Amino acid sequence: MKNIQVIDGAQNSVYDIFAATDAEFRVIFKPGEDVAFIEDVFKRHRATKKTLQTALSRIWGRRIAKRDAMGIHGLLFYELLEKKAFYPTLRDEEARNPDGTRLR
């Protein structure tokens, strides 16, 4: 299982963590990436929308309390496309400012 933290643009978002099987994780994240934007995920799965909906439905049923999470393997952003500029490679450790300087 891999843990995905959901970063939601809603004002009352609490950034929950959910467990995903390896197969479900691959539905959301491309190989080598650990950052995804739901809008892009939906575009990528237009033809296989049912596969995505099934994966998300299962994932939402596996919320993990933050204190019990053993790492975060992916970040999934909802309604925050403006954050995409900070993740040009869609890898969290490679996050950059728009001018190219490292965030960490």
Residue 100 lies in a domain: no
Q: For the chain, how many structural domains are there in total?
A: 1
Residue 91 lies in a domain: no
From the list 104, 94, 77, 74, the residue with the least C-alpha distance to 8 is 77
Question: b/e map of 30-60 (b: 16 or more CB within 10 Å)?
Answer: eeeebbbbbeebeeebeeeeeebeebbebbe
pTM to 2 decimal places:
0.93
Domain that holds residue 9: 2-84
Per-residue pLDDT of the chain (104 residues; tens, 9 = 90+): 999 999 999 999 999 999 999 999 999 999 999 999 999 999 998 767 889 999 999 999 999 999 999 999 999 999 999 999 999 999 999 999 989 999 98
From the list 81, 25, 85, the residue with the least C-alpha distance to 58 is 25
